[in-house]
Amino acid sequence: MKELVDAAKKINKILHDSEDEGVGYDATLAKLNSVKVHGVVFPTLMLMEIIDKFVEGYKDRQKTVVDDSDEIQNKYEDYSRKWNTKDLN
């Protein structure tokens, strides 16, 4: 069971790294083919399905990044305004 969990972690890391680095579909699939459980690689069709499910979450992952940036910008503006208008006497 531990090997299966480790394989899932490796697959997740490969997918995120490939997305971040702009790696193409074929190269990502080839990287995933290196993940084995008990010495056996996952069937190609299964890996293709995993990639497809990962791609479906792309907008949500991007939204999280954008939301964080917006939140940081809003807090910066709020805090800098408070700092710049405080009474220094």
Q: What is the mean pLDDT of residues 11-19?
A: 95
- 18 in the same domain as 28: yes
Q: Does position 84 have pLDDT exceeding 80, yes or no?
A: no
Work out how many domains the chain is built from and give that number.
Answer: 2
- 27 in the same domain as 48: yes
- 43 in the same domain as 31: yes
The backbone torsions φ and ψ at residue 14, rounded to the nearest 5 degrees and listed phi first, read -60, -45
Q: 67 lies in which domain range?
A: 58-89
Burial class (CB in 10 A: 0-12, 13-18, 19+), 37: middle
Among 32-36, 41-45, 71-75, the range scoring the smallest mean pLDDT is: 71-75
pLDDT at 51: 95
